[in-house]
Amino acid sequence: MVTRVILMEIITAKTAGFCFGVRRALSIAEETAGTNDAGVYTYGPLIHNDEVVRSLKEKGIEVLGEPGDHAPAEGATVIIRSHGVSRDVTEDLERKGMRVTDATCPFVLNIHKIVRSRGEEGCEILIIGDPGHPEVRGIRGWCVSPVSILQTEEEALCWNPLTDKEICVVSQTTFNEKKFCELVEIVKKKGYHINVFNTICSATKERQEEARKIASQVDVMLVIGDRKSSNTQKLYDICKKTCVNTYYIQTVREVEYAWFLHAKSVGITAGASTPNNIIEEVQIHVRAHI
Ligand code: F3S
């Protein structure tokens, strides 16, 4: 009798894991650790990953604003994470005597510059993104002219400008590009004078395109990332549309054997704040146990 062993094919996205902006913010934080006796803090968790936040804490970097935390002493260093913050936040920290180290991703800084300069030229601003996301709150905080935010088709259909000026449209860097184009089309059809800046980060685009491609080729797709990570959630949504057997996991411990019973191929991708070691653990586990 011939026993045929079918090996599971595993395709891991080349774009899975830390993006340029997150890697940069992390290395700024690591270089800043231990440089200030008054303390070093990040303004909110540096990235959406508890393990990374814990490891920074071991290096002496606390998260500003965590419940139960003591207030930083005057002169402490506060690191702004890659999402960026509004101008008010930086000014407020400086007023309180903090030293601000800016690890805002240069791509996000570029959006701050666009909304500010276009606003100074008299344009109204329309941000396409999640109004509750820190990056979008930060962008809003750099606007010097009337600004509105939308993220759904329904909102785009109901949207009306606040002024009769030219409208400058920008996007949250991690927004789904297809959805961005759809929303822009809806707004354009209303006939207003609009000027569109597609500020979706190329890292996001590439990650989403690769995830979509892999999801279309495999039986099971794993998307790894923290539950609070909006870019991971978007990756999951994209993959789920193409591959019904798509699962969102935070760590290897959430992988279930039953998902792979009839699978011959598995795809793996991960959000921009997922450390490489977590991706590798999932890969090794799937290869060894499934
Ligand atoms: Fe920057 Fe793009 Fe990452 S905007 S933080 S490189 S997803």
User: Whole-model pTM?
Assistant: 0.84
Looking at the DSSP bridge assignments, the partners of residue 99 are 77
116 CB burial (10 A radius; 0-12, 13-18, 19+): middle
Residue owning the nearest CA to atom 1 of ligand 1: 21
What single DSSP character describes residue 129?
S
CA dist list (Å): 244 to 27, 177, 219: 37, 21, 8
Ligand 1 centroid to residue 234 C-alpha, Å: 14
In this structure, are residues 220 and 243 in contact, taking their beta carbons and an 8 Å threshold?
yes
Report the 10 Å Cβ neighbour count for 268. Answer: 22
Q: Which of 151, 192, 186, 196 is nearest to 172 (CA)?
A: 151
Residue with tokens 């690591």: 30
Residues at CB less than 6 angstroms from ligand 1: 19-22, 82, 105, 107-108, 173-174, 201, 203-204, 272
For 43, the token pair is: 């303004």
pLDDT at 275: 92
pLDDT at 6: 59
- How do the pLDDT tens digits run along the chain, 290 residues long? 444 445 789 999 999 999 999 999 999 999 999 999 999 999 999 988 888 899 999 999 999 876 556 678 889 999 999 999 999 999 999 999 999 999 999 999 999 999 999 999 999 999 999 999 999 999 999 999 999 999 999 999 999 999 999 999 999 998 888 899 999 999 999 999 999 999 999 898 899 999 999 999 999 999 999 888 888 998 999 999 999 999 999 999 999 999 998 899 999 999 998 999 999 999 999 988 77
pLDDT at 32: 96
Ligand 1 centroid to residue 211 C-alpha, Å: 17
**Active site residues per annotation:** 135
pLDDT at 48: 81
For 195, the token pair is: 């000027």
